[in-house]
């Protein structure tokens, strides 16, 4: 690590965690990119292409991001404290980790949507986002860019949600119950930001669709506030977390 | 600059259970301490407080005279190596050692030197290490941290005898080279007895005794000589252990011998030696109590 003076190591650690995670999962990410790029030309041999393959891949990245942040935090917490890192430092590091991870995956999502748009345009295919009963067609480069530009923020939202769950699950045996408020809130904000269909069964739509009436910039603002609040919650959970006894 | 330790009226609860109860303890800087106690006595809990792994339910934990909780200047120079270490099992040994560079005084060259000496496979994943090698990795991390307060909690588990011996010698060499505070928590009392300057015995969440090793050893004596003479000399004393080989007998007693008694038994041909720390520990922590 480059600069590990006590004043700066929280930042250095955050970038090291982010870079390390991207490197660790680079094979997985590359596999998804290859798969999402290769499938449409193969499928086109048999039928017409009318959905965005990358949309499916990019959306799976949201859950993947939440899992990565939650598992990383849960797994690394004891090790970091054992290395003499304070909980406050870890909270800051996690912030940098989340920003770096979300920016990198978000940039990849944007690049892949634009690349896919170029490919689909060349073959006169339709780059359509297919949700539960709804369809949105990205019929120009601008539309593809406008839609995909939301991914860095939505990944950050999922990262924050995953971190809350990971921190709470470590802190308490019952901490995983924080899933109950976190998941619907994240899904609702995701729906508002991405303008996709409401997630989940009908009975849950009152919660997961609660923010769908927001305009784009209102949704961006609400998600930013939610991410900031989530980061504060993660910090608060970490500050009171005791390292668990080792199991025999 | 090695760190002192002070616990004031410290209680630590796990739910309704008190792991430590109103503990008061002061450890001077720059010594090697042995932390002894039976299973569940509160040793690991005590060490966890000193490394800010846990926060006391009540009381104050000071290291180098400063509160340890969330104190970056202190915790970055405190190392607690727990049994099996706190590692990311998916990392390689080398990457685990490199993580040590988070510490301001981490000595990477020393870590690699120790890794070579203890034959740690640098490219192997931590999860693939044997129990002994995993313990060695923990020990290497603890030593190379160059911490001002280094604590090793049952770090020897799984190590074979030559490795344990090499670890203790390396610990001592590092201590002589760079005086700092060391706390060794172990059940292998006789193995470490020669390295300790002071001993703290924890029992049922309280500090039972805290003395220097010499004081402990003078709490009793080992009488060795002709069996009948030894039996006579030990009559009326609290006998902790007996060994007999032919006509020679060795008896460990838990009572300090007054000068007259000493003179009498020496004249009778009995050798007087210090009491074994382990025998005394067993005696002090109630041998009638059994439990894992």
Three-state DSSP class for A82? helix
Check residue B179 and give its pLDDT: 93
Residue of B nearest to A77 (CA): B86
Check residue A214 and give its pLDDT: 78
Q: What's the average model confidence in pLDDT over A5-19?
A: 92
Whether residues B166 and B268 share a domain: the answer is no
Whether residues B121 and B179 share a domain: the answer is yes
What is the 8-class DSSP label of residue B181? E
Total domains in the fold of chain A: 1
Whether residues B268 and B159 share a domain: the answer is no
Whether residues B230 and B90 share a domain: the answer is no
User: B33 pLDDT band (50/70/90 cuts)?
Assistant: very high
The reply to whether B67 falls in a domain is: yes
Dig out the tokens for A184 from the structure. Answer: 């619907």
| pLDDT > 90? residue B151 | yes
CA A222 to chain centre: 16
Asked if B44 reaches chain A (Cβ–Cβ under 8 Å), the answer is: yes
Per the structure, the complete domain to which residue B71 belongs is given by: 5-213
Averaged confidence pLDDT in chain A: 89
User: A230 pLDDT band (50/70/90 cuts)?
Assistant: very high
**Digit-coded pLDDT (tens) for B194-212:** 899 999 999 999 999 999 9
Mutation target vs B (from A83, A88, A92, A172; most B CBs, 10 A cutoff): A83
Out of B71, B72, B80, closest to residue A82 by CB: B80
What is the 8-class DSSP label of residue A202? G
User: Are the CB atoms for A190 and A62 separated by under 8 Å?
Assistant: yes
User: Are the CB atoms for B37 and B202 separated by under 8 Å?
Assistant: yes
Determine the distance in angstroms separating the CA of B280 from the nearest CA of chain A, rounded to an integer.
Answer: 28
Instruction: Please judge whether A84 and B75 are an interchain contact, meaning their C-beta atoms are less than 8 angstroms apart.
Output: yes
The residues, ordered by sequence, that sit 6+ positions from B50 with a Cβ below 8 Å of its Cβ are B5, B61, B63, B68, B78, B80, B149, B151, B183
Q: Which residues of B touch A83 (CB under 8 A)?
A: 99-100, 102-103
The reply to whether B282 falls in a domain is: no
Per the structure, the complete domain to which residue A159 belongs is given by: 2-247
**Digit-coded pLDDT (tens) for A32-89:** 999 988 888 888 788 777 788 899 899 999 999 999 999 999 999 999 999 999 999 9
Q: Which of residues 86-115 of B touch A (CB under 8 A)?
A: 86-88, 98-104
Check residue B80 and give its pLDDT: 97
The reply to whether B57 falls in a domain is: yes
Task: Give the largest CA-CA distance in chain A.
Answer: 62
Whether residues B40 and B124 share a domain: the answer is yes
User: Are the CB atoms for B30 and B76 separated by under 8 Å?
Assistant: no
Instruction: Please judge whether B76 and A85 are an interchain contact, meaning their C-beta atoms are less than 8 angstroms apart.
Output: yes
Greatest mean pLDDT range, A204-218, B86-100, B269-283: B86-100
A101-115, A144-158, A234-248, B274-288: least confident range: B274-288
Asked if B164 reaches chain A (Cβ–Cβ under 8 Å), the answer is: no
Q: What's the average model confidence in pLDDT over A218-229?
A: 96
A96-105, B113-122, B280-289: least confident range: B280-289
Helix (H) or strand (E) holding B153: strand B149-153
Whether residues B136 and B259 share a domain: the answer is no
Dig out the tokens for B50 from the structure. Answer: 């000193």
Q: What φ, ψ does residue A174 adopt, rounded to 5°?
A: -100, 5
A50-64, A125-139, A184-198: least confident range: A125-139
Q: What φ, ψ does residue B122 adopt, rounded to 5°?
A: -65, -30
Identify the residue with better confidence: A129 or A158. Answer: A158
Check residue A3 and give its pLDDT: 56
User: A111 pLDDT band (50/70/90 cuts)?
Assistant: very high
Asked if A92 reaches chain B (Cβ–Cβ under 8 Å), the answer is: no
Whether residues B34 and B157 share a domain: the answer is yes
pTM of the model: 0.88
Whether residues B110 and B126 share a domain: the answer is yes
Whether residues B180 and B95 share a domain: the answer is yes
Check residue A52 and give its pLDDT: 87
Check residue A248 and give its pLDDT: 59
- Dihedral (CA of B143, A14, A4, B31) sign: negative
Q: How far is CA B160 from CA A222, A246, B129, B156, B157, in A?
A: 59, 22, 14, 8, 8
Q: What's the average model confidence in pLDDT over B231-249?
A: 85
Look up the CATH number of the domain holding residue B175. Answer: 3.40.50.300
Whether residues B255 and B144 share a domain: the answer is no
Total domains in the fold of chain B: 2
A189-198, B182-191, B218-227, B244-253: least confident range: A189-198
Look up the CATH number of the domain holding residue B256. Answer: 3.30.70.260
In angstroms, rounded to a whole number, what is the distance separating the alpha carbons of residues B219 and B238?
Answer: 11
């Amino acid at each position: 690590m480059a600069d590990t003076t006590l004043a700066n190591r929280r930042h250095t650690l955050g970038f090291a965690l982010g870079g390390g995670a991207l490197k660790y999962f680079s094979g997985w990410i590359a596999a998804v990119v290859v798969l999402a790029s290769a499938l449409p030309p193969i499928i086109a041999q048999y039928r017409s292409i009318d959905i965005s393959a990358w949309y499916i891949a990019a959306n799976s990245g949201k859950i993947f991001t939440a899992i990565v942040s939650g598992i990383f935090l849960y797994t690394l917490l004891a090790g970091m404290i054992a290395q003499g890192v304070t909980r406050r430092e870890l909270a800051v590091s996690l912030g940098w980790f989340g920003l770096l991870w979300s920016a990198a995956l978000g940039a990849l999502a944007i690049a892949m949507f634009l690349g896919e748009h170029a490919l689909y345009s060349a073959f006169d295919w339709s780059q359509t986002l297919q949700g539960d009963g709804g369809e949105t067609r990205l019929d120009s480069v601008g539309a593809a860019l406008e839609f995909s530009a939301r991914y860095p923020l939505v990944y950050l939202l999922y990262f924050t949600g995953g971190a809350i769950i990971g921190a709470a699950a470590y802190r308490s045996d019952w901490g995983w119950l924080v899933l109950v408020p976190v998941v619907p809130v994240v899904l609702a904000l995701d729906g508002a930001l991405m303008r996709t269909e409401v997630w989940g069964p009908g009975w849950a739509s009152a919660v997961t669709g609660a923010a769908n009436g927001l305009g784009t910039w209102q949704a961006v603002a609400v998600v930013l506030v939610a991410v900031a609040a989530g980061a504060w919650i993660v910090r608060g959970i970490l500050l009171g977390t005791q390292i668990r006894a080792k199991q025999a | 600059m090695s760190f002192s330790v002070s616990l004031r009226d410290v209680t630590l609860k796990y739910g309704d259970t008190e792991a430590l109860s109103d503990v008061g303890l002061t450890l001077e800087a720059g010594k090697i301490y042995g932390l002894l106690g039976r299973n569940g006595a509160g040793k690991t809990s005590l060490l966890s407080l000193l490394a800010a792994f846990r926060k006391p339910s009540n009381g104050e934990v000071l290291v180098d005279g400063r509160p340890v909780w969330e104190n970056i200047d202190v915790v970055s120079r405190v190392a607690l190596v727990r049994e099996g270490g706190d590692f990311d099992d998916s990392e390689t040994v080398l990457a685990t050692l490199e993580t040590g560079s988070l510490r301001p005084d981490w000595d990477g060259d020393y870590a690699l030197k120790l890794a070579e000496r203890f034959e740690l496979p640098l490219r192997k994943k931590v999860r693939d290490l044997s129990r002994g090698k995993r313990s060695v990795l923990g020990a290497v991390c603890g030593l190379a941290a160059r911490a001002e307060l280094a604590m090793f909690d049952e770090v020897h588990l799984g190590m074979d005898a030559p490795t344990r011996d090499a670890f203790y010698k390396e610990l001592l060499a590092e201590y002589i080279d760079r005086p700092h505070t060391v706390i060794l928590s172990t059940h292998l009392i006789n193995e470490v007895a020669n390295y300790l300057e002071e001993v703290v015995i924890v029992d049922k969440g309280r500090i039972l005794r805290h003395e220097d090793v010499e004081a402990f050893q003078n709490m009793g004596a080992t009488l060795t000589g002709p069996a009948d003479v030894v039996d006579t000399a030990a009559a009326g004393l609290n006998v902790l252990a007996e060994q007999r080989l032919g006509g020679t007998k060795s008896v460990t007693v838990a009572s300090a011998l007054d000068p007259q008694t000493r003179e009498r038994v020496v004249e009778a041909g009995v050798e007087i030696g210090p009491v074994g720390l382990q025998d005394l520990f067993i005696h002090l922590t109630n041998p009638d109590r059994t439990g894992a």
